[in-house]
Amino acid sequence: MFEHLLSNKIGPHKITVSECEILVNLTEQPRGRMRMRDLAVATGQTPSRLSHQVSRMEKDGLVWRDNARGILDSAGRDKRAIYPSITDFGREVLERTIPSYEEAVRQMFISFVSAETLSNYDDLFGALSEHLRRSLS
């Protein structure tokens, strides 16, 4: 139900919920990029599905792929990886989309809940999120 409402809210911006989630994760990184494996974990997608999604987003100009070659880890091993990076156009699309995304979240989860209850949930979900990040790393 929530994804349907969210899709309806952001649909006019010509972006999917999955694309929005990927772009949000990328913008939260200092250089606007993430290792593909880490992005898959953050978005809950399989690496294969994410690879296809990022390919479509690259064709649409929302992201570009940086193939990091020759980067060595602490043991001197080559850490070849693909880093999707958000483009300026991707940032523009996300900036236009976020208000609709936030409105959908407010409608479904926040508008009917007291400030005290929200604070308790914020604490709970913050702790849960941190626990899951540590468990998945």
Across the 137 residues of the chain, what is the mean pLDDT of every consecutive 10-residue run?
Answer: 73 84 94 92 94 95 81 58 92 91 81 83 86 78
pLDDT for 131 = 86
pLDDT for 100 = 86
List CB contacts of 67: < 8 A, sequence separation 6 or more. 80, 81, 82, 83
pLDDT for 56 = 95
The rounded distance, in Å, linking the Cα atoms of 120 and 18 is 28
Q: Please tell me the pTM assigned to this model.
A: 0.71
Report the amino acid identity of residue 134: R
pLDDT for 105 = 80
Query: The dihedral of CA 72, 45, 49, 29: what is its sign?
Result: negative
Nearest CA among 69, 72, 95 for reference residue 82: 69
Nearest CA among 104, 74, 108 for reference residue 9: 104
Report the amino acid identity of residue 29: Q
pLDDT for 73 = 59
DSSP 44: T
pLDDT for 61 = 96
Q: E-strand spans in 1-137?
A: 63-68, 81-86
